[in-house]
Structure 1
Amino acid sequence: MPDLSSADGKRLLQLARQALEAYLKTGDHLEFIPQNDSFTAHCGCFVTLRSGDQLRGCIGTFDCGKPLYENVIRMAIAAGTQDMRFKPLRPEELAHIHIELSVLGELEKVEQLEAIEVGKHGIVVRCKNKNGTFLPEVAVEQGWQREEFLLRCAREKAGMSEKECAEAEVYRYTVRKFSEDA
């Protein structure tokens, strides 16, 4: 994960908003030339959109093959237009949307489930061709302990059977979170 300052986070949030606004108004992808080496670091991110305290979209990628700034642009647009849980955002809704950006650290395979700290670690649960993830704040927001965090990720996000849950590989990751609200 790149070393990002609060000012870097603010600029990345502006980039996410500008990319989403440009796409909603014109259908075009924003052109951006990074002035900061941290923005060209290859790492994944999630972009979360909220209207008040209600989730309005959240999509991310663990793809480390692209620079952070490209992933921010892609995920901002995807969160606003491709999250299947919600209708695509309309341009007039954007003024009421708050954007959060979670820059992802590396995935670490978990051998002991006790290594997962609720509120600190996000998780990925994988079995065969099924996988699911939750950002660190999900367990805190829902009031879940570690076991429920893992089980809900496996069953609800990944759609795993009980047998697949028992065979699943678990990974953890940290995030650096930035929010327009902060």
Structure 2
Amino acid sequence: MSQLPSSSAVGEYSQTERETLIRLAHAAIDSALHDRPMDLTAPTPHLEEQRGAFTTLHLHGKLRGCIGYVLPVASLYKTVANTAVGAAFEDPRFERVKAPEAPELKVEISVMSLLFPIEPKDVEVGKHGLLISWNMRRGLLLPQVATERNWDAQTFLSETCRKAMLPVDAWQRGASIEAFTAEIFGE
């Protein structure tokens, strides 16, 4: 498995733990496809810690699904299993993954830091992900999105507003702006 560059300075997960989580994501998708129960025993104590995470699926280099939790809702290994199944079968932007596609899926996992308030001038493309909230609407973009699309910080802020179905300048008009970092790895 190749390792994607991390957008977190910490890099707290070992290569073995990263590979374990990627295998777990594939196993969860396979179990759901074939309606089989899955053993969700914690592989290591470190992976039992509660963390927010997103699982992103790619098929032949194109986005195939992405689901996650910015806040911790369960232990990391359970969150990865749940978000992998969600990305494969519940992302409303895509049809459900079919059995012939599953072996071709590439998994990317983003393990989230806690959210923190940030000023627009302090947003760093490639380091921060964003959550913008205003009037009951919220939009979130992972750190790698701005890098992959070659956006500057202002475009990143505007596109996060667009994702929330807000005016693209809402970040300049009082919307709440929070950031996070993520340890990102995949195959």
Please confirm whether the aligned pair reaches a TM-score higher than 0.5, indicating the same fold. Answer: yes
Give ranges in structure 1 of 5+ residues lacking alignment: none
Change (3 A) 1:145 1:162: closer
**Alignment identity in percent?**
29
- Aligned partner (choices 143, 146, 153) of residue 146 of structure 1: 153
Calculate the aligned-residue CA RMSD, in Å.
Answer: 1.7
Q: Residue 63 of structure 1: CA displacement?
A: 3.1
Of 105, 118, 123, which aligns to 1:116?
A: 123
Aligned pair count?
177
Aligned in 2, Cα 1:56/1:100: closer, same or farther, shift over 3 Å? same
Flag the structure with higher helix content: 1
- On the 8 A contact 1:41/1:67 being kept in 2, the answer is yes
Deviations 1:21-73 (A, max 9, x none): 110111x4522111311111111100000012110001111231311111101
1:54 and 2:62 matched: yes
Structure 1 residue identity aligned to 2:87: A
Secondary structure (helix, strand or coil) at the match of 1:91 reads coil
Distance 1:163 1:10 in 2: 40
Q: Quick check: 2:60–2:104 contact (8 Å CA) kept in 1?
A: yes
Task: Indicate the residue corresponding to 2:18 in structure 1.
Answer: 9
Q: Which residue of 2 aligns with 1:160?
A: 166
CA contact 2:53–2:80 (8 Å) conserved in 1: yes
**In 2 relative to 1, CA 63–31 (structure 1 residues): closer, same or farther, beyond 3 Å?**
farther
> Aligned partner of 1:11: which letter?
T
Aligned CA distance change for structure 1 residues 163 and 121 (closer, same or farther; 3 Å): closer
The equivalent position to 1:107 in structure 2, one of 100, 115, 121, is 115
In structure 2, what is the Cα distance between the partners aligned to 1:34 and 1:2? 20
Describe the SS at the equivalent of 1:176: strand
- CA–CA distance in 2 between the matches of 1:123 and 1:4? 22
Which is bigger in relative contact order (C-alpha 8 A, separation at least 6)?
2
In 1, Cα distance between equivalents of 2:155 and 2:168: 14
Q: TM-score, normalised by structure 1?
A: 0.91
For 2:26, the aligned partner's letter is R
